[in-house]
Structure 1
Amino acid sequence: MFAIPLTARAELRPLEPWLAEEFLANLDRAREHISPWVSPTFVATDLAEARAVLRRYADKRAQDAGGIWGIWLEGTLVGGVLFVSFDTALGVCEAGCWLEPGAEGHGLITRAVGRIVDWAVGERGIQRVEWRTVAGNVRSVNVAKRLGMTHDGTLRQVHPGEGRRVDIEVWSVLADEWRARGARAAADKAEIDGLTAAFFRLFTNADGARPDVGAIHRLFVPDGIIVRGGPQQEVYSLDSFAEPRQKLLTSGELTEFAEEETWERTEIFGDVAQRLCHYRKRGVHAGLPFTGTGTKSIHFLRTPEGWRMAALSWDDDR
Structure 2
Amino acid sequence: MFTLPLGDRAQLRPLEPWQAPEFLAHIDRARTTVDPWIPWASLSTDLASATATLQRYADGQATDGARIHGIWLDGTLVGGVMFTRFDGASGVCEVGCWLERAGEGQGLVTRACRVLIDWAFTQRGMSRVEWWAASGNARSIAVARRLGMSRDGVLRRHSVHRGERRDIEVWSVLAEEWPTAGDASEAAVRAELDRLMGVFVGAFTNVGGKRPDLGVIRDVFVPQGRIIANVGDEPVIYDLDGFIAPRQKVLTDGTLTEFSEWEVSERTEVFGSIAHRFSEYRKSGYHNGEWFEGRGHKTTQFLRTPAGWRMSSLAWDDAPASS
TM range (shorter): 0.5 to 0.7
Q: Structure 1's 21 and 106: CA in aligned 2 closer, same or farther, altered over 3 A?
A: same
Q: Structure 1 residue 54 and structure 2 residue 51: aligned?
A: no
- 1:130 and 1:192 map into 2 onto residues whose CA distance is 20
In structure 2, the residue corresponding to 1:59 is in which secondary structure?
helix
In structure 1, the residue corresponding to 2:90 is in which secondary structure?
coil
Extract unaligned runs of 5+ from structure 1: 194-223, 229-233, 237-268, 274-297, 314-318
- 2:66 and 2:81 map into 1 onto residues whose CA distance is 11
Assess if the C-alpha contact under 8 Å between 1:83 and 1:96 holds in 2. yes
Q: Structure 1 residue 301 and structure 2 residue 300: aligned?
A: no
Note the alpha carbon deviations across 1:95-137, whole angstroms, 9 max, x for none.
Answer: 1011001210000000000001110100001110000011110
**Aligned runs of 1:1-318 on 2, under 5 Å?**
1-40=1-40, 43-180=43-180, 183-187=182-186, 226-227=223-224, 271=268, 300-301=275-276, 308=303, 311=311
In structure 2, the residue corresponding to 1:166 is in which secondary structure?
strand
- 1:122 and 1:93 map into 2 onto residues whose CA distance is 14
Q: Structure 1's 191 and 87: CA in aligned 2 closer, same or farther, altered over 3 A?
A: closer
- 2:141 and 2:5 map into 1 onto residues whose CA distance is 24
Deviation for aligned residue 1:312? 5.8
Deviation for aligned residue 1:143? 0.3
Q: Percent identity among equivalent residues?
A: 49
- 1:113 and 1:192 map into 2 onto residues whose CA distance is 11
Deviation for aligned residue 1:41? 6.3
Q: Structure 1's 45 and 113: CA in aligned 2 closer, same or farther, altered over 3 A?
A: same
- 1:76 and 1:176 map into 2 onto residues whose CA distance is 36
Note the alpha carbon deviations across 1:124-175, whole angstroms, 9 max, x for none.
Answer: 0111000001111000000000000011011011122345311111000000
In structure 1, the residue corresponding to 2:39 is in which secondary structure?
coil
Assess if the C-alpha contact under 8 Å between 2:303 and 2:312 holds in 1. no
Q: Structure 1's 36 and 299: CA in aligned 2 closer, same or farther, altered over 3 A?
A: farther
- 1:71 and 1:189 map into 2 onto residues whose CA distance is 19
Assess if the C-alpha contact under 8 Å between 2:66 and 2:85 holds in 1. yes
Assess if the C-alpha contact under 8 Å between 2:35 and 2:42 holds in 1. no
Assess if the C-alpha contact under 8 Å between 1:300 and 1:311 holds in 2. no
Assess if the C-alpha contact under 8 Å between 1:155 and 1:170 holds in 2. yes
- 1:139 and 1:192 map into 2 onto residues whose CA distance is 17
Greater C-alpha Rg: 1
Deviation for aligned residue 1:60? 0.5
Q: Match for 2:223: what amino acid?
A: I
In structure 1, the residue corresponding to 2:113 is in which secondary structure?
helix
Extract unaligned runs of 5+ from structure 2: 193-220, 226-238, 242-265, 279-300, 305-309, 314-323
The alignment yields a C-alpha RMSD, in angstroms, of 3.3
- 1:190 and 1:78 map into 2 onto residues whose CA distance is 25
Q: Structure 1's 189 and 171: CA in aligned 2 closer, same or farther, altered over 3 A?
A: closer
Deviation for aligned residue 1:307? 7.0
TM-score (norm 1): 0.62
- 1:128 and 1:173 map into 2 onto residues whose CA distance is 6
Deviation for aligned residue 1:35? 1.0
Q: Structure 1's 169 and 187: CA in aligned 2 closer, same or farther, altered over 3 A?
A: closer
Q: Match for 1:107: what amino acid?
A: G
TM-score (norm 2): 0.61
Segments ≥4 residues shifted beyond 3 Å = 40-43, 182-185, 187-193, 306-313
In structure 2, the residue corresponding to 1:271 is in which secondary structure?
strand
